[in-house]
Amino acid sequence: MRLLRPLTLFLLLASTVLAASPLAGRWRLDVARSTALDGWTAWDLVIGVDGSRVTLQHDMQWRATKRTATNTVDTAAPSVVPDFFRVEQRHMALYPAKGGTTAVRAAWLDAGRTLRVEADTPIEISQGQALMRIYEEFRLIEGDGALVLIELHSTRPSPLVYRFTRVTETSK
Amino acid sequence: MSSPASHEVGPVSDRPGQSKTGPTVRTCLLAIALLLCVHPVTAQPAPAKVAHAPATATLIPLSENWRLDGDIPVHALLISLQGLANRDEPRVYLEYPKSWQWEIVRPLIGFLEKRHGVKFDRLKLDDAEAALALYAKYAKGVVVWDKQVRSSLIVAFTIAGVEDLVVVTEDQLALAAAHGLRPVVDLRGRFTGQPDHVIYQWAYDNYWARCSRDYYVVMGGHAGAEMQPGVADFGIRQRAFFTDLSANPKHPEELALLKKILSQQHPASIVLGWHSYGKDTEGQHTTLVGNYGLIMEGLHNLPNVSFTSQIPLTPGFKFTNNHHLAPDAKLTAEKKVYVCAVATDAMGIGAWTKPGRGKIPYTWQVLMNWAWLNPPALQFFYEDKSPNDYFIGGLSGPGYMYPKAIPPDKFAALAAIGRPLMQQLDLRILEIMDYSEGNRHVGNTDLPKELVDRYYAQYPDALGFINGYGTARTFDLRDGKPFLSYDYYLSIERPVEEAAADLEELIQLNPTRPYFLLMHVRESNSVEKVAAILGRLSEAVEVVPLDVFLKLAASAKTYRTHYQQPTDAIDRNP
């Protein structure tokens, strides 16, 4: 009981913080301040928080072509995600392996101001199949008005850094 | 005229002076004779050639302004006059501005002077007065387009070709009259408030029957306040029907009329120009053209074809490629990374004149129809090539086409046009692209096995095939002939450091050696940029031309055989 009480308190506090997560909402890519994005000219990231489940919805656009994909992660326990979406995939022949599943771990850091996502995702390559480890941090910066996504790949020599600004009713 | 020995594609019809209601009996007999003697299938409707380039021609510089409320009126006048003046002989060449997308328009002037001995008499910028003084005699009057209705200009191009009229606005009537040209057709007010499908239906009802069945012009590309009708001179010369009708299902009336038009064109005939940026997508339009087994020659601002299409190759010239090995040679790949860079859109609108060409082995896709449509331009490239430049054929056949969109019963006829063109142009490798079910963002760009079978069967002399534009996943190896897809697409905007990181990642993820990294270089990316990217890689790579690349890939199949799968995503390029 002595152990359970602080754990319960922690979970209660965490859920209270995250229920009103400052990351929740629609974020728009700041193209000029981000790593060059290939294949897409616009990217809205829509973050939703429901308890320990976090939805990362990607609204992508290139001219008239639009695509929406959502990765749902769980900060309470590791999860398995089918069709894990990566932004950088079509200018390189690195396709999500058909039927493959991605092991994902997620956690809140920095008092709920950073979401960490780690994924082991199977990739279809011209030589067959390979595994890519992905490490992502979604960090609030500049108050709550901007968000930075830092993404590392086990196979890439440099990080991908994307900056977003919050989409408000007035900025839509 | 073509001969079997030269492997040229023979002229069949559409020469100036042919019946406006269609091929004459004599033309038909000639066509049949040619089909029997030269090729067993349909040949291209090639424009007739003059015996040699003219000793003199008129050069008219054009300004940078292509707005409808700017210099388009004078440019439309000059382009239409060019089409008429060049009907039976090449007389007028327009010098487009330095920023023109088809950048070879200016270097080609020097080539025509140097290799063909043409002496150009230069007029002043946009000098319609002087041009009319010289060439109004080739027109029977003018067609007046309505400055308030953009599509009326496109209809005017059709009428100009059919009725031999110069295209003018009301502001230019006095100028035309001073040179004896009176209004024959006046479109002012005729289309006010009408949608495009109604406007083009009117043009169809009144002029379609007298237009060419060998050429149709989609006068699209730039939309709205701007128009770049560089290809209109040739369309007028050939009496083509012009529209910018949409292939987008969102525009059902336009799509229905467009289908009606395409369905009546001759088999394997030419669609010139480009889809409208304001109405539909490249994928939608090229797919529709393929559905009718027609050939897309895609560039709305391709200039001066009424002039260059008539100029033959210089005496003794033969297209020769920089082959690096005999067709039956065998190579053995080492355990390392091989890279091959291929530029597709880059001959004419891209990188040819940019820095670095010749620095590294580089492969260039040739627009094969230029062999008969634009011989001087193709000769210019072949004579200007460096030892490191290697040519291949494309895209998917003779012209720009998506094989999945072409009905199987029309595919063989197109391949039969493509094969002799490849032989004439000394090309041994064919590049394929198919965006009928996707693009480099969504859907798929792969080929089913049945279509791969067809390519192997229809192009038996090819050393191999490459597929994609963006990346793709179709791979095969048969009888020592690889069928490979692009593993990387280098966009124009991609920074050098990110592109190098991309390649590093591909090399890291494909661990088996040899690894064959086929890289598509888009349009205006320079060879210098590609060399800089490759120079930053950690692992040593060997850059080779495509014929060597394919022979090496034939020796070590480290790529897995793969075709389009029934479960692959399909996206119709909305």
Each residue of B68-121: pLDDT tens digit? 999 999 999 999 999 999 999 999 999 999 999 998 999 999 999 999 999 999
CATH number of A4-166: 2.40.128.20
The per-residue pLDDT for A170 is 73
* Chain B interface disruption, residue of A38, A43, A63, A154, most B CBs within 10 A: A38
Query: How far is A112 from chain B, CA to nearest CA, in Å?
Result: 31
B17 — contact with chain A (CB < 8 Å)?
no
Q: Which residues, in sequence order, are CB contacts of B32 under 8 Å at separation 6+?
A: none
Q: What is the pLDDT of residues B338-385, one digit of tens each?
A: 999 999 876 767 789 888 999 999 999 999 999 999 999 999 999 999
User: Could you count the other beta carbons within 10 Å of the beta carbon of residue A159?
Assistant: 13
Give me the sign of the Cα torsion angle B355, B359, B363, B369: positive
The per-residue pLDDT for B4 is 27
Q: Which two tokens stand for residue B384?
A: 């200007």
Position A83: which residue type? Answer: D
Given the structure tokens 């939703």, which residue do they identify? A48
A64 — contact with chain B (CB < 8 Å)?
yes
CA distance B439 to B199: 32
**Residue bearing the bigger pLDDT, A18 or B543:** B543
Q: How far apart are the first and last CA of chain A?
A: 50
B337-555 topology per CATH: TIM Barrel (3.20.20)
Burial B236-245 (b: 16+ CB within 10 A, else e): bbbbbbbbbb
CA distance B47 to B312: 11
- On chain A, the residues whose CB falls within 8 A of the CB of B442 are 65, 67
Burial category of A169 from C-beta neighbours within 10 Å (exposed 0-12, middle 13-18, buried 19 and up): exposed
* ipTM of the shown complex: 0.89
Contact in structure between B91 and B306 (CB atoms under 8 Å): no
Q: What is the pLDDT of residues B471-523, one digit of tens each?
A: 999 999 999 999 999 999 999 999 999 999 999 999 999 999 999 999 999 98
* Chain B interface disruption, residue of A58, A67, A91, A156, most B CBs within 10 A: A91
How many A/B residue pairs have CB atoms within 8 Å? 103
The per-residue pLDDT for B36 is 37
Contact B508 A156 (CB under 8 A): yes
A133 — contact with chain B (CB < 8 Å)?
no
Contact B489 A91 (CB under 8 A): yes
The per-residue pLDDT for B24 is 40
Q: Which of A64, A90, A127 sits opposite B512 (nearest CB)?
A: A127
The per-residue pLDDT for A18 is 47
Q: Would you list the DSSP string of B394-458?
A: ETEETEE--GGGS-HHHHHHHHHHHHHHHHHTT--EEEE---SSB-SSSB-----HHHHHHHHHH
Report residue B527's pLDDT band, with 50, 70 and 90 as the boundaries. very high
A123 — contact with chain B (CB < 8 Å)?
yes
Contact A39 B441 (CB under 8 A): yes
Q: Any bridge partners for residue A55, and if so which?
A: A48, A72
The per-residue pLDDT for B131 is 98
Q: Where in chain B is the domain with CATH 3.20.20.490?
A: 337-555
Mean pLDDT of A104-116: 97
Mean pLDDT of B185-197: 98
The per-residue pLDDT for A100 is 93
CA-to-CA dists, residue A156 to A133, B312, B339, angstroms: 10, 52, 18
Contact A127 B491 (CB under 8 A): no
Q: What is the pLDDT of residues A146-156, one digit of tens each?
A: 999 999 999 99
The SS3 assignment for B305 reads helix
At residue B211, does pLDDT exceed 70? yes
Q: What is the pLDDT of residues B233-270, one digit of tens each?
A: 999 999 999 999 999 999 999 999 999 999 999 999 99
The per-residue pLDDT for B172 is 98
Residue in B closest to A131 by C-alpha: B509
CA distance B12 to B214: 10
The per-residue pLDDT for B351 is 85
Q: Work out the mean pLDDT of chain A and round it to a whole number.
A: 89
Mean pLDDT of B195-218: 98
- On chain A, the residues whose CB falls within 8 A of the CB of B505 are 92, 94, 153, 155-157
Q: Any bridge partners for residue A66, and if so which?
A: A61
The per-residue pLDDT for A5 is 54
A124 — contact with chain B (CB < 8 Å)?
yes
- On chain B, the residues whose CB falls within 8 A of the CB of A132 are 509
At residue B18, does pLDDT exceed 90? no
Report residue A15's pLDDT band, with 50, 70 and 90 as the boundaries. very low
Q: What is the pLDDT of residues B29-58, one digit of tens each?
A: 444 433 433 333 345 568 999 999 999 999
pTM: 0.90
Q: Work out the mean pLDDT of chain B and round it to a whole number.
A: 91
Contact A127 B559 (CB under 8 A): yes
Peptide bond between residue B514 and the one before it cis (omega within 30 degrees of 0):
yes
Mean pLDDT of B439-453: 94
At residue B324, does pLDDT exceed 50? yes
At residue B405, does pLDDT exceed 90? yes
CA distance B77 to B295: 28
The per-residue pLDDT for B523 is 85
CA distance A131 to B204: 58
- On chain B, the residues whose CB falls within 8 A of the CB of A86 are none
Q: What is the pLDDT of residues A29-79, one digit of tens each?
A: 999 999 999 889 999 999 999 999 999 999 999 888 889 999 999 999 999
B489 — contact with chain A (CB < 8 Å)?
yes
The per-residue pLDDT for B323 is 98
